[in-house]
Amino acid sequence: MLLYSGAAGRRRWELALPSAQRGLELAIATVIVLLLLFIRYYAVHVDPADRTLAVGLCLYSCFNVLNNTILERYLYSYVVLWNVLGMLVFFASLCVWAWALRRSQPAADTRAALHAPGIYQSITPQINARLRSLNEQLSHFWKAEATRN
């Protein structure tokens, strides 16, 4: 982040902090998008409230990246508008998070929910088949990468 902010600031010290913040927000948004894609691709169960919170945080980070990019371009004439837009984006994100948490969330059950041994024996072949499929997909992916280089 420090190297990025120094390079993006083009030796202008007043741009180092907005550049560092932009890089951090871009990294946060990228990780959230990758996690959401992972959840969708592998059909991982996620509560709707958690997914909405992640989307709100991603939107907040994306708007901060945009805001800091514009700030770097029009530093002095944009400071007041930058603060207003920052507050509006944060307020919009708070609204998204409040919408996600509008109903009380069930308490997490910390007890291990174990099923009968017969259930595990019946689903083990399905799990193994999915793992084999994933292994084949990854093998094809790595072979394709190796042939490109």
Q: What is the pLDDT of residues 60-107, one digit of tens each?
A: 888 888 877 777 677 666 677 777 877 888 888 888 888 888 877 677
Output the pTM of the full model.
0.57
How much of the chain, in percent, has pLDDT values that exceed 70?
A: 75
Domain boundaries, the chain: 1-104, 115-149
Distance from C-alpha of 58 to C-alpha of 54, rounded to nearest angstrom: 6
Q: Which of 54, 1, 4, 62 is nearest to 29 (CA)?
A: 62
More confident: 101 or 58: 58
Q: Is residue 122 within a helix (H) or strand (E), and if so which, with residue range? A: helix 117-148
CB atoms within 10 A of CB 15: 19
For the segment 23-35, the average pLDDT, to the nearest whole number, is 89
SS3 state at 107:
coil
CB atoms within 10 A of CB 118: 8
